[in-house]
Amino acid sequence: MAVVARAWGRLTIPGKVLFTVLPLLLALGLALAAVVGLFGGAIVDLAVQYGEVVRFLASATIILLITIPTAFLIIFMEMKIIAFMNLRIGPDRVGPWGTLLSVVHGLKVLMKEDFTPSGADSLVFTLAPVVVYGASVMTLLVIPFAPGLFAQDFNLGLLYFFAVGGLSVVGLMMAGWSSFNKYSLLGGLRSAAQMVSYEIPLTLSVVGLLLLAGTMSLNQFVENQSGWFTNWYIFQQPLGFVIFFIAMTAEANRTPFDLTEADSEIVAGFATEYSGMRFGFFFFAEYVNVFIVSALTVVLFFGGWNAPFPFPELSVALDPGGLGIWLLVGIALGPVVGTLILAAPFILLRSTMPIWQALVAGFVLLNALVVGLVLAWAFISFEWVAGLLWFLGKTYAFVFTFVWMRGTLPRIRIDQLMGFAWKWLLPAALLNLFVTAGAILVVGR
């Protein structure tokens, strides 16, 4: 036991985590395999009988899991893109090109002390970041990522999105009130005032779309915009898009409207007393919100998963079983031969490069080539793959725009923020609504 304790004490924290988690995962995998082997038929019958319940549980699990890499990717984009804009290198040490630095930031927040002020309402203080994060994640349930790739297709999907997304105001108020801090309370009140003010023009900006589409189903919005890009609602509602984008930027607390947590003015607003992972949950939700806002913009105004122009219907049928013994030969020799062929230029053209480095470069290129070919085949053969790639491409174009704005625009004052919502955005949203309704009446006649 002493030898084991000594060896355990010499391990680093990641090593201890690895040697703890791997046996647990192995035991869980064996237990799951045993359960499937013994009760597989019953599980299939239950899945068929309660298909919608299983679909909902699977969708909720997948949505919770994809929020983690999404937030880390956007954090990395902010660090790297803003660094390039400022003629800096940015993160380049942890992981390839610094890609793992955002993961390090997440672990750093996780390992910090989680402190609760002595006068705070501990239950509400703890639930506030959960409410903010939950309000963000639950809106993903109605986002259509591709044909058939969505959690739920509600007839009132857009209404559900705005209703659930508005719950984040409750979380911010809970955080400010429960902290037992005057600055936190003022920050929570100001956050609520900002978000409530901008929700009014935000909601009115999409009423014109509702008149044109005749539905609140987000899937139907996307299907109405199929075909050429001229069918996208951005060309039918340009003013509505401008109002929507500005109001959504304020709702997501992004620059130049990031007044909910304005440390240059009011300490750290509603988050003044928060630390550790509870602090991290607020800003984890903010980065997930950037993706959600971008996705909703694409769904409503830029065709969702639709391509800008109709592609010819193609399909590449593969039958690996028809190759027989040659399939096994290809699996055995393909990686070796491919690595040697792609490493040959490095060996011939750069005589100073060691052989092992050339082989590593050839192996990496072979994997990139194989992944590219598989994606190209899936893009051609499966509609949902093509739709998902188009959707993510458009969405991350807007994510890039939000990062660009953060590295470019200054933060405005609170009086400018509120005045702009009530004096400019609200009248513009009403004007857009009346003009759209009038145009529909005239054309309908």
235: CB partners within 8 A, 6+ apart: none
CA distance 83 to 72: 17
How many helices (H) and strands (E) the chain has is answered by 17, 0
| pLDDT over 90 (residue 353) | no
Of 23-37, 97-111, 135-149, the least confident: 23-37
A 10 A CB-CB count for 227 gives: 14
For residue 310, count CB atoms less than 10 angstroms from its CB and return exposed for 0-12, middle for 13-18, buried for 19 or more. exposed
Output DSSP code: residue 149.
B
The pLDDT assigned to 334 comes to 76
Strands (E), 311-368: none
Nearest to 299 by CA among 355, 218, 372: 218
What is the rounded average pLDDT of the residues 295-314?
86
CA distance 393 to 71: 16
Query: Residue 274 — φ and ψ, nearest 5°?
Result: -90, 150
Which residues pair with residue 149 across a beta bridge? 146
Of 152-156, 209-213, 289-293, the least confident: 152-156
Between CA 287 and CA 296, with CA 292 as vertex, the angle to 5 degrees is 150
CB 425, CB 247: distance < 8 Å? yes
For residue 296, count CB atoms less than 10 angstroms from its CB and return exposed for 0-12, middle for 13-18, buried for 19 or more. buried
SS3 content of the chain, % helix, strand, coil (to 5): 75, 0, 25
| pLDDT over 60 (residue 386) | yes
The pLDDT assigned to 244 comes to 95
Of 66-80, 279-293, 305-319, 392-406, the least confident: 305-319
CA distance 404 to 208: 29
Q: What is the pLDDT of residues 170-192, one digit of tens each?
A: 898 899 899 888 888 888 888 88
Reported confidence tier of residue 214, pLDDT bands at 50, 70, 90: confident
CB 392, CB 304: distance < 8 Å? no
What is the rounded average pLDDT of the residues 425-443?
90
The pLDDT assigned to 361 comes to 82
CA distance 162 to 348: 61
| pLDDT over 70 (residue 317) | no
CB 395, CB 295: distance < 8 Å? yes
Nearest to 75 by CA among 229, 234, 291, 227: 291
Half-sphere exposure of 337 (CA within 13 A, CB side): 6
Mean pLDDT of the chain: 82
- The answer, as to whether pTM is greater than 0.85, is no
180: CB partners within 8 A, 6+ apart: 117, 119, 120, 121, 273
CA distance 152 to 264: 41
What is the rounded average pLDDT of the residues 215-225?
91
Percentage of residues in the chain with pLDDT exceeding 70?
Answer: 81
CA distance 219 to 210: 13
| Domain locations along the chain | 112-310+411-444, 320-381
| pLDDT over 80 (residue 381) | no
